[in-house]
Amino acid sequence: MSGARAVERIPPCSARAVELERGDELIVIDPEGQQVSDLVAFSRDDLDEYLSSGRSIDYASKLWLSTGDLLYSNRSRPMLAIVEDSCGRHDFTLTPCSKDTFAILYGETEGRPGCEGNLAQALAPYGIGVDRIPIAFNVFMHVSVDADTGRIAVLPPRSRPGDSIRLRAEMPLVVAMTACSAGQSNNFRYKPIDFGIERLGKP
Amino acid sequence: MSGARAVERIPPCSARAVELERGDELIVIDPEGQQVSDLVAFSRDDLDEYLSSGRSIDYASKLWLSTGDLLYSNRSRPMLAIVEDSCGRHDFTLTPCSKDTFAILYGETEGRPGCEGNLAQALAPYGIGVDRIPIAFNVFMHVSVDADTGRIAVLPPRSRPGDSIRLRAEMPLVVAMTACSAGQSNNFRYKPIDFGIERLGKP
């Protein structure tokens, strides 16, 4: 990690949106370990083009993406390339947690916005409403699959303090990311997420 | 299957859209065996509400849904209930095949529209464009997962001639479904899909 890069903090249970030029690198860091960051992306030039888990999984022929893999848009264009990954396990099958998730899965009635609500709030300046939040690239989220039954389990992340993933923008992007609000994904310790941007691209 | 129900045919490599009232039952049939039907759904009352694989997988805690499971919308409301399923294996992780899929995965340059293009054409009367085609419930599609590596493989469907799945509409819906155009999903024998609707709901 370059010392010249400023690191910013996403407080627990919140989200941030950033803009990237093609070539910029976004580093998402788990400062304390076992925390998840739900990440979504939209083409800055046409916000109807968005990160697609279904395309990315199909082209990679695997559920879990890591160094060397590409994250594709719904239009089958590369949006992000994973250029470094010290954790190695992320989920790309589940939608961001929401107040409904908390109610349906955990019986919670507080109405916390969850990652979905926090992403929508961060993306509101771009006119992207909650209905358009897709399945996220759930950085550091550890979901296991039983190959016989298809049963999944959300386990504590494998990320240790300081683990990070580095993503290179393959097109101008609006990216939003969270410090996840779901206890099940972060071993019930709601923690921050850090990030930095290396402005290597040309505006 | 009720004898009173008319069965309609979706010709190979095409799609159909139908409207369902709440309570209506849609039966999707594989008449010849080893064929896939990509199915998407939208709330007829508000087309911004759509079938969400990420929500459905999360609430069921499994990748592969069958009898007794619910298919949820992005707003966490049940859209369809699986009430019968003689095949038992369907995919819910991959986006419909498209001309880009064929180019990227198979080097095809003919520009066939694939399930994505066929679904968009069937949904055009509803003003739903290609960007809004989500990950489909890929009826009869057989995708295996390696639990250690996450590697997936698209295998020939397990469906035999006459296998079917029966889905009850839990809200008024626009549903579109295909006879799949991807050779890898149907063992390279492009075949039709049949369907019937039992109008049990009240308009």
Give B-chain residues touching A108 at CB under 8 angstroms. none
Nearest alpha-carbon partner for B81 in B96, B70, B91: B70
- Which amino acid appears at position A66 of this protein? S
Q: Residue A203 domain-assigned? A: no
- Of A55, A76, A100, which is closest to B76 when you measure between CB atoms? A100
* ipTM for the predicted complex: 0.95
Q: Residue A2 domain-assigned? A: no
What pLDDT digit, counting tens, does each position of B67-85 carry? 999 999 999 999 999 999 9
Q: Angle of helix A53-60 relative to helix B99-106, nearest 10 degrees?
A: 20
Q: Across all residues in chain A, what is the average pLDDT?
A: 95
- Which chain A residue has the Cα nearest residue B78? A104
Quick one: tokens of A174? 């609006």
Show which residues on chain B lie within 8 Å of chain A, measured between beta carbons: 48-49, 52-55, 57-59, 61-64, 74-76, 93-95, 98, 100-101, 104-105, 131, 133-135, 144-147, 149-153
The residues pairing with A175 across neighbouring beta strands, listed in sequence order, are A18, A41
Would you put residue B68 in left (φ > 0), alpha (ψ -120 to 50) or beta? left
Give B-chain residues touching A62 at CB under 8 angstroms. 149-152
Which structural domain, as residue segments, surrounds residue B98? 8-198
> How far, CA to CA in Å, does A42 sit from each of A38, A192, B120?
14, 23, 21
Q: Across all residues in chain B, what is the average pLDDT?
A: 95
B146·A147 Cβ contact <8 A: yes
Average pLDDT over residues B52-75: 98
- Which chain B residue has the Cα nearest residue A144? B147
Q: Number of structural domains, chain A?
A: 1
B196 min Cα distance to partner chain A (Å): 28
- Which amino acid appears at position A80 of this protein? L
Q: Residue B1 domain-assigned? A: no
- What is the pLDDT confidence band of residue B39, given thresholds at 50, 70 and 90? very high
Nearest alpha-carbon partner for A71 in A122, A127, A135: A135
Q: Is the pLDDT of residue B3 over 80?
A: no
Q: Residue B163 domain-assigned? A: yes
Q: Is the pLDDT of residue B164 over 90?
A: yes
pLDDT at residue number B5? 67
Q: Which helix (H) or strand (E) holds B77?
A: none
Q: Which helix (H) or strand (E) holds A77?
A: none
pLDDT at residue number B68? 98
Counting every residue, how long is chain B?
A: 203
Task: Give percent of chain B above pLDDT 70.
Answer: 98
Give A-chain residues touching B57 at CB under 8 angstroms. 93-94, 152
How many A/B residue pairs have CB atoms within 8 Å? Answer: 104
- Which chain B residue has the Cα nearest residue A117? B75
Q: Residue B2 domain-assigned? A: no
The residues pairing with B142 across neighbouring beta strands, listed in sequence order, are B155
- Of A49, A76, A94, which is closest to B57 when you measure between CB atoms? A94
Q: Is the dihedral of CA B187, B16, A57, B99 positive or negative?
A: positive
The residues pairing with B97 across neighbouring beta strands, listed in sequence order, are none
Q: Residue A27 domain-assigned? A: yes
Q: Is the pLDDT of residue B64 over 70?
A: yes
- Please compute Rg for chain B using Cα positions: 16
Q: Residue A158 domain-assigned? A: yes
What pLDDT digit, counting tens, does each position of B166-195 carry? 999 999 999 999 999 998 888 888 999 999
> How far, CA to CA in Å, does B125 sit from each of A47, A174, B11, B99, B121?
23, 31, 20, 22, 8
Q: For residues A18 and A30, what is the distance between their CA atoms, to the nearest angstrom? A: 18
What pLDDT digit, counting tens, does each position of A43-100 carry? 999 999 999 999 999 999 999 999 999 999 999 999 999 999 999 999 999 999 999 9
Give the pLDDT of chain A (203 residues) as one tens digit per residue. Answer: 444 569 999 999 999 999 999 999 999 999 999 999 999 999 999 999 999 999 999 999 999 999 999 999 999 999 999 999 999 999 999 999 999 999 999 999 999 999 999 999 999 999 999 999 999 999 999 999 999 999 999 999 999 999 999 999 999 999 999 999 998 888 888 999 999 999 999 87
Report the Cα–Cα distance between both ends of chain B, in Å, rounded: 22
Q: Nearest 5°: CA angle at B36, between B70 and B84?
A: 35
Q: For residues B115 and B179, what is the distance between their CA atoms, to the nearest angstrom? A: 8
pLDDT at residue number B1? 45
What pLDDT digit, counting tens, does each position of B119-150 carry? 999 999 999 999 999 999 999 999 999 999 99
Q: Is the pLDDT of residue B18 over 90?
A: yes
B63·A152 Cβ contact <8 A: yes
Q: Residue A141 domain-assigned? A: yes
Q: For residues A80 and B45, what is the distance between their CA atoms, to the nearest angstrom? A: 35
Show which residues on chain A lie within 8 Å of chain B, measured between beta carbons: 48-49, 52-55, 57-59, 61-64, 74-76, 93-95, 98, 100-101, 104-105, 131, 133-135, 144-147, 149-153
pLDDT at residue number A203? 78
Alpha helices in chain A (DSSP H): 53-60, 99-106, 114-123
